[in-house]
Amino acid sequence: MRKVAIVGTGHSRFGVRYDVSLPELAYEAVKEALKEAGVEPKDVELSVVGNAGGWSSEPLPAVVVNEYCGLSGKPTFRVEAACATGSAALKAAHDAIAAGEADLALVVGVEKMNESPTPTVVEFIGRAGNYFWEFENFGLTFPGYYALYATSYMFTYGAREEDLCQAAVKNHYYASMNPKAHFPRRISVEDCMKSRYVAWPIKLLDSSPITDGAAAVVLASEEVARKLTDSPVWIEAIGAASDTSNISKRNTYLSLPAAREAALMAYKKAKIDPESPAKALDLAEVHDCFTIAEVLAYEDLGFARRGEGYKLLKEGQTYIGGVIPVNLSGGLKAKGHPIGATGVSMAVEIARQLLGRTEEGRRAAIRNGRGLAHNVGGTGHYAYVTIYSLSKPR
């Protein structure tokens, strides 16, 4: 298996983007990534587009994006893995290069969620579980799913709503320094607590927004990467797992087992001690679609013991200078969550952090040269944990 590196990154502005079409939005990220890599569309051998779709007007987004970005004729396909779509697309391109099927690939994650009314988007996301059992019979929406996790966690471990709000406060703090974020403004715990309930105890400010956005990375084999840049960011390990579509079949609401399994797989490949992974990492981007999801991520990734994830937030240990800085981009909560773009956006953020190319106020101290992306699809239906490194994998 050949080594694979990121050699170019691109990122659109996230938000409500009525000003552009889906292919135009994708191109905002693609042109940045190609320019940074120092390549042209003709150099790309494979294009993988991450797009969950359903709410936007383009039924064939890969073909449309390819054409608009000057890639017509190149092999392309669309990948979907719910909210983990971006990471699944990245893995597909990574595996093609690792297997020798391509030397240079473009990964684009793009979503235009605001082309549909909010109730329609909420319904489509709610269908991401087991449609006939959970949505049709019980009317579960995505906030409803995560409310089950939150109530179970609070009852079992004694966490309070205010504790969960700390994740939103932190992520808005870093988003305020990110010019590409959907909500680049700070909030307080009081703001979060005063926001209206969506599904108790989940409130509006516990929730990620409905976002339009795009992100892109150029991936290269080792031979090509060495020719293009003296600072490649290597994809050191990818762990992937899945779980039941019906959450009533799961044994716990205190964890996302697929995320834990994906993390253990990635740690094994990267030779990271699963008992103390934070010591080997400089930062992490985790899937905080709701504040409880960030807390569960701390525990599933081994950053905290079971029942103690919320304490990391209370103690400020996931800010810069803490045990492990988390979501310095603003996370899904404040940077935004354009579903197909989220996993690729995480890759862009970590690559730029490792290379020191982010805004000073939200720049992590890089000592180990490693960052982790934790991307969950649905309520743990899919999970991808990807480790990025400045050092070539062994």
pLDDT tens digit string along 28-75? 999 999 999 999 999 999 999 999 988 888 999 999 999 999 999 999
Which runs of E-coded beta strand occur in 82-181?
Answer: 104-112
pLDDT reported for residue 135: 67
Q: Exposure of 322 by Cβ count < 10 A (0-12 exposed, 13-18 middle, 19+ buried)?
A: middle
Type of residue found at 36: E
pLDDT band at 130 (very low <50, low <70, confident <90, very high): confident
Tell me the mean pLDDT in the region 143-153.
Answer: 95
Q: Are strands 104-112 and 370-377 parallel, antiparallel or unpaired?
A: unpaired
CA distance 69 to 131: 35
Q: What counts of helices (H) and strands (E) characterise the chain?
A: 14, 11
Q: Please write the tens of the pLDDT for every residue from 300-337.
A: 999 999 999 999 999 999 999 999 999 999 999 999 99
Structure tokens at 260: 């834990």
Mean pLDDT value across the chain: 96
Please state, in angstroms and as integers, the Cα–Cα distance from residue 129 to each residue in 132, 203, 377, following that order: 9, 21, 10
Q: Looking at the predicted structure, is the pLDDT value of residue 236 above 70?
A: yes
Q: Residue 15: beta bridge partners?
A: 212
pLDDT of residue 15: 98
Average pLDDT over residues 323-352: 98
pTM: 0.97
Compare 176 and 135 and report the one with higher pLDDT.
Answer: 176
Q: pLDDT band at residue 246, thresholds of 50, 70 and 90? A: confident
Q: State the pLDDT confidence band at 134, using cuts at 50, 70 and 90.
A: confident
pLDDT at 127: 77
User: How high is the pLDDT of residue 124?
Assistant: 83
**273/285 Cα distance (integer angstroms):** 19
- Architecture of the domain delimited by 4-117+210-228: 3-Layer(aba) Sandwich (3.40)
The pLDDT assigned to 136 comes to: 67
- Quote the pLDDT of residue 191: 98
Contact between 49 and 108 (Cβ < 8 Å): yes
For residue 229, the tally of other CB atoms under 10 A from its CB is 19
Task: Kindly indicate the confidence band of residue 114, based on its pLDDT and cuts at 50, 70 and 90.
Answer: very high
Are 37 and 103 within 8 A, CB to CB?
no
Q: Which of 83, 165, 192, 289 is catalytic?
A: 83
Total residue length of the chain: 394
pLDDT of residue 125: 83
Mark whether 83 is an active-site residue: yes
For the cut 90, the answer to whether the pLDDT of residue 275 exceeds it is: yes
Is residue 137's pLDDT more than 70?
no
Give residue for tokens 């930062």: 283
Average pLDDT over residues 231-252: 94
Q: Is the Cα dihedral 209, 28, 342, 172 positive or negative?
A: negative
Query: Is there a catalytic annotation at residue 192?
Result: no
Q: How far apart, in whole angstroms, are the C-alpha atoms of residue 103 and residue 105?
A: 7
| Domain ranges (residues) in the chain | 4-117+210-228
Note the pLDDT tens digit of each residue in 251-272: 999 999 999 999 999 999 999 9
Q: What is the pLDDT of residue 141?
A: 84
Options 94, 182, 287, 337, the catalytic residue: 337
CA atoms within 13 A of residue 49's CA, in its CB half-sphere: 31
% of residues, the chain, pLDDT over 70? 99
CA 1 to chain centroid: 25
pLDDT mean over 198-208: 98
pLDDT of res. 264: 98
Q: Calculate what percentage of the chain has a pLDDT beyond 90.
A: 89
Q: What are phi and psi of 315, to 5 degrees?
A: -90, 0
Strands (E), 2-70: 4-11, 46-50
What residues have CB less than 8 Å from 293, skipping those under 6 apart? 146, 149, 286, 287, 376
User: What is the per-residue pLDDT for 377?
Assistant: 96
